[in-house]
Amino acid sequence: MATRRLSSLLSSSYVVAASSRSFGRYSSWGRGINRFSTAVALEEPITPPVQINYTKLLINGQFVDSASGKTFPTLDPRTGDVIAHIAEGDAEDINRAVSAARKAFDEGPWPKMTAYERSRIMLRFADLIEKHSDEIAALETWDNGKPYEQAAKAEIPLLIRLFRYYAGWADKIHGLTVPADGPYHVQTLHEPFGVAGQIIPWNFPLLMYAWKVGPALACGNTVVLKTAEQTPLSALYVSKLFHEAGLPPGVLNVISGFGPTAGAALASHMDVDKLAFTGSTETGKIVLGMAARSNLKPVTLELGGKSPFIVCEDADIDKAVELAHFALFFNQGQCCCAGSRTLVHERVYDEFIEKSKARALKRVVGDPFKKGVEQGPQIDSEQFEKILKYIKIGIGSGATLESGGERFGSKGYYIQPTVFSNVQDDMVIAKEEIFGPVQSILKFKDLGEVIQRANATRYGLAAGVFTQNIDTANTLARALKVGTVWINCFDIFDAAIPFGGYKMSGHGREKGIYSLSNYLQVKAVVTPLKNPAWL
């Protein structure tokens, strides 16, 4: 538990100036230093005042060691130091968890209790998250590296909202009566699948937890959740709170482990009835194949992206620069829907480049627990090295490096906010998902051209459009082959707004009413009517 409120961390002598313009709940801070540096020097990292109490696997309502007894370290991305050692689940632990979930579904109270009772448990859980929000936000920042202000002021409130949203749906799921050609009464039943296997990523551990667990439980399923090996702490913590709220044993099981062992065992398990995965497109293909080769379980996939952010010639450049900056650099660039292809009309291109460079140089990089920090470290050394490799590829391909391009500081996994201009469509940095703070800015001439180029990708997760012309906005919204189009905004993730991709960005939708269909089967019930006098 926290020894003091983390708000005290945000009142230190570390002072920065806030800008007057804010987008997407976040403001811009800091002051540029030179061409290839960013605001604020690194200092010794703060030790968060929160204890690590839950490091084991959660199976059948109990925290237990892994069957093998093995553990793995979860690291502080600010330093690379070990935060804690976590029980390492593998195939045997997945078997134990699936068995617990199966028994809870077939014999336990969860699918048998009224939907209203399930709703009340989920609402109590949301209340407990709210009560312990300081500790939860601290765990998320410590394990992931995202700014504490982002976790505390945006992500934890949305986590609470998501579970309250799904609690509200629990007792509103019902079938229909269907007219038939003949003397029959026909009704449909919407029923849970049974055991839902879920695999979540490391970039938004708690929000992805809510996107998966919320609708599955609201629909009456039981769950085996595999966390990302980089970020197991917050899911274990909040799952304990779920049981304090009255969740029966076995309904929610949490396994920390690695993809080739625990993840593969879950995807291919014959007693898992439904699978949901969020991660890279390449891994999504593997997961889908495993599910198909086992019991042909249905799979929901939310995968990679290379989202266009289109700045039209009529745009207010200052606002467009700020929003495009947010669209790419938010969460250290570690967003599947990041606006990583910034397409700018040729008439405003040069001005946009200069102001984007200046904005990147003002971006505050540092310890994510300090007030005003906009960008923390990347998640781990592997991602850190991958991003730096992409930056070198961009330089080598002829793109112009406007700012950044190197690591920031000498400890941890920090990377300077990086901006490339003169990027061409066939360059690697314009085609592949970098998943880091690297903005690629391309030039276009007219609407027809930008539509063709924006759609010329294997991905189709999201897009941003910045224009003052309603006809242009409507044309692009209809023409872009993506699951979400944000017009003059970006990264709006309301609980009711569906999210998911076209093409190789996946299939199925998270959030909103559409997510419920991921966890429900439809059964038709046909009964003959004897001597129907009304026919």
Rounded Cα gap, residues 141 and 150, in angstroms: 9
Rounded Cα gap, residues 501 and 508, in angstroms: 8
From 138, 128, 374, 336, select the one nearest 238 (Cα to Cα): 128
Question: In the Cβ-directed half-sphere of 66, how many Cα atoms lie within 13 Å?
Answer: 21
Rounded Cα gap, residues 81 and 222, in angstroms: 35
**Which amino acid, one-letter code, is at 261?**
T
Q: For residues 184-213, b (16+ Cβ closer than 10 Å) or e, as one string? A: eeeeeebbbbbbbbbbbbbbbbbbbbbbbb
Cα separation of the two ends of the chain: 67
Q: Which of 140, 149, 302, 374 is catalytic?
A: 302
Cβ count near 8 (within 10 Å): 9
The yes-or-no answer on residue 337 being catalytic is no
Q: Which of 219, 336, 402, 433 is catalytic?
A: 336
- Token pair belonging to 165: 């949203």
Rounded Cα gap, residues 32 and 302, in angstroms: 37
The yes-or-no answer on residue 302 being catalytic is yes
Q: For residues 280-302, b (16+ Cβ closer than 10 Å) or e, as one string? A: ebebbebbbebbeeeeebebbbb
- Token pair belonging to 473: 């906005």
Rounded Cα gap, residues 2 and 51, in angstroms: 7
Question: In the Cβ-directed half-sphere of 218, how many Cα atoms lie within 13 Å?
Answer: 28
* Strand pairing category for 82-87 and 177-178: unpaired
Q: Would you name the residues annotated as active-site residues?
A: 302, 336
